[in-house]
Chain A
Amino acid sequence: MAEPQRIFELYSSPHLKRPVSTDIIMRNVVMALAPVVAFSTYQFGVSALLLVLTGMTASVAAEFVFTRMSRRDNTLGDWSAAVTGLLLALTLPPGFPLWMAAVGGVISVALGKAVFGGLGVNIFNPALVGRAFLQATFPVAITTWTPAFVPGRFIETVPSTLAAPFMQPAPVADYVARAVDGFTGATPLALLKFQHIDTDNLRLLFGMTSGSAGETAALLILLCGAYLAVRRMLDWRIVAAVLGSVFIFSGAFYLAGHGKYPDPFFMLFSGGLMLGAVFMATDMVTSPTTPRGIWIYGVLIGAVTVVIRLKGGLPEGVMYAILLGNGVAPLIDTLTQPRIYGAPRKRLFPQKTAKQTEATK
């Protein structure tokens, strides 16, 4: 006798069609970043590729050592350390000395993640912690930019790349001069801030300028992010909030400044804003989880970025803006907890109910 045919299948929540685990997401992030790395290699040559490989190796090695030391399960399989190292390398100048990149990779994992207890409990984006450390530690090296599309970039590295460990990198002036005569190697944002030279927005969009290894090709980064957003592995609302608020705030400055400030499209496509907004602000661990909180977080990052870029002493402020956003994310989460369906509405200024008003009469 055949079993009675079931009409309904009952399950309790959560109703997942397929499990999406950390390692699947992280592997997809690496895949989404592959075109960025490829373009960076095409643009800056073998130095950029070596930089990415060094960053990843250092982060993964640090993760291995720290999980061993704390006697936790080996977490190399979740790919998060690889993503950290990859993102860190993409925010560094292409000619950054490899030994410094390795220091950054280790610091990212150690101070950004291991001291808090591993992935999921870290407060700040590990890659940005590493970059902030490098910025304070090697301020000269991290602002030494080399131009894109230098002839011979595929057969030799930037002279500063292969500096001996703990030693100062070789000067890059000769290498820079080979590209274009009189080119200083400065990024579009630095050019604007210190020399008041504007850069064409289209060149920024397609990544024809100098800058950090993986931050120049704004359109490519956006497309890679779109892939992740379509696969639901990236929250498009954070990206939209950050980019939207940068556009609006810098637009306000542009309209009020009478040519003193750059136009909002320049602000969107220059510097590390695209890379930061798409791949770092959206870090699932360090961003808020409530629907309203996400928008507040994104707008805060965008506003701080604009203020640092236009009013601060630094040419670029995306890194500090995101770190600041990470820092207040738990507070945002606490303040924007959604009301549970059916629960009484909490008022900021509780109004007296009819009964209470009657009682006071």
Chain B
Amino acid sequence: MSTAHQHQPSPPASPPEAAGPPASETFLNGLWKENPVFVQVLGTCPTMAITNSVRNALAMSVAVIFVLVCSNALVSLVRKTTPKEVRIAVFILIIATFVTVVDYAVKAVSIPIYQAMGPFIALIVVNCIILARAEAFAYKNGVFRSILDGFGMGFGFSIALLFMGSIREILGAGTLLGYPLFGANYQPWVIFLLPSGGFFTFAFWLLIFAWWRERKDKRAKATRPEAGQLEAAPQ
């Protein structure tokens, strides 16, 4: 009797972690293949609003990486004790805590950056990248992987912000990180500092990424038809 009881399969408390993809893939996914901004098109609000200079983009990136990694880690830690029904409220509470930390930290470090970022620091709370990772990854995976995922997605977000910010700053002001690139006689393209220029730049990068993925899918299909279909399927 007792042996039979032992042989009963225990309910999986957490999804199998060892069976997942290698840890490096968890990290690299967010950088390029599943880039949160250009591929998943999440968190577009700070992407438009904060990227009119590289300096602002960098500050925003650091803030988001910090919040994303910390919230992913904490969500993953408490995932087994969090009832499913109230998980979103718990996520928001955790995220809001770290955003408040960032808010005070930025204010203490540099008032000009704090003013330039305006309400967008507080709005990190509702940044859908962070909530999406908590819900889709950290709530289902272990702490180590969640931190890795947080770093991957955070760096992916930073890459997107830097791509946007450098184009907008170079064209819109002729500078990079505040240093003039083309001399004093450069004609700035004012539109790139305006919100409409943000949309144009964003559309330009989405176009590049869509074109790149289409080309990759086509190549994969040309070499291995069945593999190409698998890759094209949503994950």
- Does A139 interact with chain B (Cβ within 8 Å)? yes
Quick check: B190 and A138 within 8 Å, CB to CB?
yes
Say whether B194 faces chain A, with CB atoms less than 8 Å apart: yes
| Interface assignment of A337: CB less than 8 Å from any CB of chain B | no
CB atoms of B187 and A136 under 8 A apart: no
- Interface digits, A93-110 against B, CB 8 Å rule (1 contact, 0 not)? 000000010000000000
Shortest beta-carbon distance from B191 to chain A in Å:
4
B182 within 8 A of A: yes
Chain B, 105-119, contact with A by CB distance < 8 Å: what is the 0/1 string? 000000000000000
Across the interface, B190 reaches (CB within 8 A) one of A111, A136, A168, namely A136
Point out the residues of chain B lying under 8 angstroms from A163, CB to CB.
187
Find out whether the CB atom of A138 lies under 8 angstroms from the CB atom of B189. Answer: yes
Whether the pair B185, A137 counts as a contact (CB closer than 8 A) is: no
Residues of B close to A168: CB separation below 8 A: 185-187
Interface size class of B (residues with CB under 8 A): 10 to 19
Q: Of A111, A137, A169, which is within 8 A of B189 by CB?
A: A137
Q: Which residue of B lies closest to A136 (CB)?
A: B191
Contact present for B186 and A137 (CB under 8 Å): no
A133 interface contact, C-beta 8 A: yes
Q: Is B229 located at the chain interface by the 8 A CB criterion?
A: no
Bound complex: CA A167 to CA B181 (Å): 12
* Residue A166 CB within 8 A of the other chain: yes
Mask for B189-220, Cβ within 8 A of A = 1, else 0? 11110101100100000000000000000000
A139 to B191 alpha-carbon distance, docked (Å): 9
* Chain A residues whose C-beta falls within 8 Å of the C-beta of B186 in the assembled complex: 166-168
Roughly how many angstroms separate A169 CA and B196 CA in the complex, as a whole number?
24
**Which residues of A have CB within 8 Å of B189?**
137-138
In the complex, what's the smallest C-beta–C-beta distance from B203 to chain A, in angstroms?
8
Interface digits, A158-184 against B, CB 8 Å rule (1 contact, 0 not)?
000001001111000000000000000
Question: B190 to chain A: which residues have CB within 8 Å?
Answer: 136-139
B binding-site residues for A, Cβ under 8 Å: 182, 185-187, 189-192, 194, 196-197, 200
User: A residues within 8 Å of B by Cβ?
Assistant: 100, 111, 133, 136-139, 141, 163, 166-169
Other than the given A136-B191, A136-B197, 16 more pairs (CB < 8 A) read A100-B187, A111-B200, A133-B191, A136-B194, A136-B196, A137-B189, A137-B191, A138-B187, A138-B189, A138-B190, A166-B186, A166-B187, A167-B186, A167-B187, A168-B185, A168-B186
Nearest 5 Cβ contacts at the A-B interface: A137-B191, A136-B191, A168-B187, A137-B189, A167-B185
Question: What are 8 A-to-B residue pairs whose CB atoms are below 8 Å?
Answer: A136-B190, A136-B197, A137-B189, A138-B189, A166-B187, A168-B185, A168-B186, A169-B187
